[in-house]
């Protein structure tokens, strides 16, 4: 079932930082906003309703593509029972052992350890 949570706490905005509307996210990827919705339904991307509009973190995009390893990591988090908001909090919360946030590590091509941690939570 496709569920998109509504943001209930301002701290998620502080953690995530920049957000993109579906149209803004679709443009650099060369796809339609409907394709972004499909990626969210498939747990290959995550978004939240903010101000009445579905938005995705800007950090999920790396130029004209999704951050390497993001779709698989999001599936692992979903398998672990994380809601979209919980997964976003995990991805954007600093972890001294990485160091940095999981999404930063993925953007810096250090995604193996991030996926290993996500996988361990799923089982």
Which domain, by its residues, includes 74?
11-122
Query: Which two tokens mark 109?
Result: 């091509």
Residue 75 counted as domain residue: yes
Residue 89 counted as domain residue: yes
pLDDT tops 90 at residue 57: yes
Residue 2 counted as domain residue: no
**Helix residue spans in the chain (DSSP H):** 11-16, 22-29, 33-41, 70-79, 84-92, 102-107, 111-122
| Mean pLDDT of the chain, nearest integer | 88
Query: Which two tokens mark 22?
Result: 């579906």
Residue with the bigger pLDDT between 7 and 2: it is 7
- The domain tally of the chain equals 1
Residue 10 confidence (pLDDT): 66
Angle at 41 between CA 38 and CA 42, to 5 degrees: 90
pLDDT tops 80 at residue 7: no
Residue 111 counted as domain residue: yes
Question: What average pLDDT does the segment 49-76 reach?
Answer: 93
Question: What average pLDDT does the segment 25-39 reach?
Answer: 96
Residue 3 counted as domain residue: no
Residue 120 confidence (pLDDT): 82
pLDDT tops 60 at residue 93: yes
Question: What average pLDDT does the segment 85-114 reach?
Answer: 93
Residue 60 counted as domain residue: yes
Distance, in Å, from the CA atom of 36 to the CA atom of 58, rounded to the nearest integer, reads 13
Question: What average pLDDT does the segment 32-57 reach?
Answer: 93
Question: What average pLDDT does the segment 60-64 reach?
Answer: 94
Question: What average pLDDT does the segment 51-71 reach?
Answer: 94
Per-residue b/e over 51-81, b at no fewer than 16 CB within 10 Å? Answer: eeebbbbebbbeeeebbebbbbbbbbbbebe
Q: Strand, coil or helix: what is 32? A: coil
Residue 76 counted as domain residue: yes
CA 56 to chain centre: 7
Residue 1 counted as domain residue: no
């Amino acid at each position: 079932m496709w569920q998109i949570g509504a943001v209930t706490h301002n701290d998620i905005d502080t953690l995530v930082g920049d957000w993109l509307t579906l149209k803004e996210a679709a443009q650099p990827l060369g796809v339609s906003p409907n394709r972004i919705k499909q990626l969210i339904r498939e747990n290959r991307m995550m978004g939240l309703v903010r101000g009445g509009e579905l938005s995705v973190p800007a950090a999920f995009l790396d130029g004209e593509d999704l951050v390497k390893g993001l779709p698989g990591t999001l599936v692992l988090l979903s398998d672990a029972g994380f809601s979209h908001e919980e997964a976003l909090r995990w991805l954007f919360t600093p972890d001294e052992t990485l160091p940095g946030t999981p999404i930063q590590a993925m953007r810096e091509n250090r995604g193996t350890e991030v996926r290993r941690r996500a996988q361990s939570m799923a089982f």
